């Protein structure tokens, strides 16, 4: 089974977005696109949010340009929803605002003694698909939570603070009142 590389292998790279996938077998670089690991992008009570009953908005805003892999976004979603369902069930609306379009590639080479005779180096270094990532610019809102009242908004703000270590970039939690 292939192991997952650490986030710094992908997150701070200067990248050209690569999303081309195959329609025909001959003309494509990417034969198969790995599926996104994010299960849901919207959770919670959306009806109350649409009706205007939610009075507070909490969001996580990235402070630098970065690639966020889909497994990182899914881990953040799981921990946020777990905390919110435990503390304020049914009185929040949660949304992920970024989508992992960018396809990550890796050129795996053999390492160790005698590896120079086994691999061809970077001769055909296009790479193999290993995952997906969302390219996030500075100032982009990554996660969004809206809450009904001030107490639930404070709990949502604490939950958003628990997500900070799981995201590979610096960011800030923005707390606003909706008019």
Check whether 91 has a pLDDT greater than 70.
Answer: yes
Query: What number is the average pLDDT over the span 14-41?
Result: 73
In the chain, domain spans:
45-105+126-179
The CATH class for the domain spanning 45-105+126-179 reads: alpha beta
Query: What number is the average pLDDT over the span 25-50?
Result: 82
Q: What percent of the chain has pLDDT over 70?
A: 79
Check whether 84 has a pLDDT greater than 70.
Answer: yes
Q: For residues 126 and 129, which has the higher predicted lDDT (pLDDT)? A: 129
Query: How many CB atoms within 10 Å of residue 167?
Result: 21
| CA distance linking residue 167 with residue 161, whole number of Å | 11
Query: What number is the average pLDDT over the span 59-81?
Result: 94
Query: How many CB atoms within 10 Å of residue 127?
Result: 14
Query: What number is the average pLDDT over the span 50-78?
Result: 94
Tell me if residue 165 falls in helix, strand or coil.
helix
| CA distance linking residue 178 with residue 51, whole number of Å | 13
pTM of the model: 0.82
**What is the separation of C-alpha 95 from the centre of its chain, rounded to a whole number of angstroms?**
12
Check whether 121 has a pLDDT greater than 90.
Answer: no
Residues 6+ apart with CB under 8 A from 66: 11, 12, 135, 136, 168, 169
Mean pLDDT of the chain: 85
Place of tokens 């790995």: 34
pLDDT value of residue 6: 79
Check whether 25 has a pLDDT greater than 70.
Answer: no
Angstrom CA distances, 154 to 56, 74, 76, 96, 159, stand at 9, 23, 18, 19, 9
Query: How many CB atoms within 10 Å of residue 69?
Result: 24
Q: For residues 138 and 119, which has the higher predicted lDDT (pLDDT)? A: 138
């Amino acid at each position: 089974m292939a192991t997952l590389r650490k986030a710094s292998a992908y997150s701070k790279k200067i990248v050209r977005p690569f999303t081309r996938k195959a329609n025909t077998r001959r003309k494509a670089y990417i034969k198969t696109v790995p599926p996104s690991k994010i299960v849901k992008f919207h959770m919670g009570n959306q009806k109350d949010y649409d009706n205007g009953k939610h009075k507070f908005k909490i969001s996580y805003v990235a402070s630098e340009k970065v690639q966020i892999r889909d497994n990182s976004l899914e881990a953040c979603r799981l921990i946020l929803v777990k905390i919110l369902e435990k503390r304020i069930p049914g009185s929040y609306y949660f949304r992920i605002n970024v989508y992992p379009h960018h396809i990550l590639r890796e050129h795996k080479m053999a390492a160790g003694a005698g590896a120079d005779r086994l691999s061809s180096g970077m001769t055909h270094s296009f790479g193999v698909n290993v995952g997906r990532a969302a390219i996030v610019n500075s100032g982009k809102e990554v996660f969004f939570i809206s809450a009904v009242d001030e107490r639930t908004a404070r709990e949502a703000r604490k939950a958003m603070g628990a997500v900070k270590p799981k995201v590979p970039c610096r960011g800030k939690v923005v707390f606003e009142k909706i008019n």
